[in-house]
A and B are shown apart, each in its own frame.
Chain A
Amino acid sequence: MSIGHAVLLFLIFPGFLFTAVLGLFVSWVDRKVTARVQFRVGPPFYQGFADFFKLLGKETIMPTGASRLFFLGAPLMGLAAVTLASTILIAGMVWPNQSFAGDLIVVFCLLAMPSLAMIMGGAASKNAFASLGASREMKLVLSYELPLILAILVPVIQSGWRLRIGELVNYQVAHGSFAWSVSGAIALLVSILCLQGKLGLVPFDQAEAETEIMGGALIEYSGPPLAMFKLQKAMMLVAMPAFILAVLWGGLGNSISSFILGLAKYLIMIVLVTLIRNTNPRVRIDQVMKFFWGVVSVSGVLAVISAAVGF
């Protein structure tokens, strides 16, 4: 693979441009479903794009005393990480034979970076609310990373300890998706809960609680850095469900019908996340930790054990 080919993959498809456009569109789907559930009309389809471009035109205000490097570098870091993760993931689903060894672990670590970027940005803001939001985001990350690892261990065990996304996808094409087995089904449920936490949506949006801590970790951001944070959040709406789809739920397959089925599964995940968002209140951060370290982690351990036993 030449450098030009790699750059094209990273920037156009399935990298930055594709993920950004799809992510901003899917964020509209989320807002529209929310509006319809509340009997409202909701925003027009280009709303995500309008928000992004509007933010690019505002001024950037740096708080005095904030660290310039970390304040302005945090959104860039998060954006780069989610772009790279999305590139590797979608390329792993569309061209499964070209994924490299261990890219499952690489993608997993890259997908943890956007939360770290928010923590970094919040901690660099020199604002009491921002450090509160950053500390809450830290507690959130501590909560949902463990069940997510356990959920991902299930397909790894079931496929015979393969760590390439391409090999997991090929295994599912040959033997049916992992979600049809008992351990796979539990792992899918666990990972959808962790998806809700990772995307920072109610009931797990303590880091950016609007009415509570006035914008949380993002309180001091304005203009283009805020645009990059919002874009990063929209792109995570593509990368995280694609991760769960590729590793646990069958990927995109190699025929037209399985491709359409894969898209339908992706949409189901988005709508499920939106419906959970609309029917639940925001909970306290200690309740979140109890939830993830209690019920969800125990289910993850059960899923791993049943995968090891053979179910």
Chain B
Amino acid sequence: MQEAVLNKLTEDLGPKLKKVFRKSKRRVYLDVEPDNVLDVARHILGIDGVRFAIATGIDTPSGFEVLYHFDFDKDDMVVSVRVLANRENPTLPSVATISKAADWVEREMRELLGINFEGHPDMRRLLLPDDWPDGVYPLRRGKPWEGKVEKKI
């Protein structure tokens, strides 16, 4: 059942996918280029019974890796769309323009990792306190906040 869904997905999306990695029966990773993210996401969200679950971001040696996880509840599998942003100028198109569920998690990635999402309707600060200095992104590798933030409140 999951093979059928996966095969149909690869068929429809075709050249937009850089790589398809099937980690286990229920877990699939699709690698895409930043330009194709919106098309792929729009297609997947158009399938009946699919919802956007969450997005995650991590700082890896090859750049900032952002994963968008889509839940195929009826077929009991999770499809993750992986996209890489380069380190000097991390910019990605914003999935919040097509799905309201991605709104807050992209704000969180913006303030904790420094990834710019183009087209996001509302880029305010979400989790960090108001007196946190701009430009210090805590979840990047190393300890970027050292020396810039005072310990005492």
A and B touching (Cβ–Cβ under 8 A): no
Could you list which residues of chain B lie within 8 angstroms of chain A, going by C-beta atoms? none
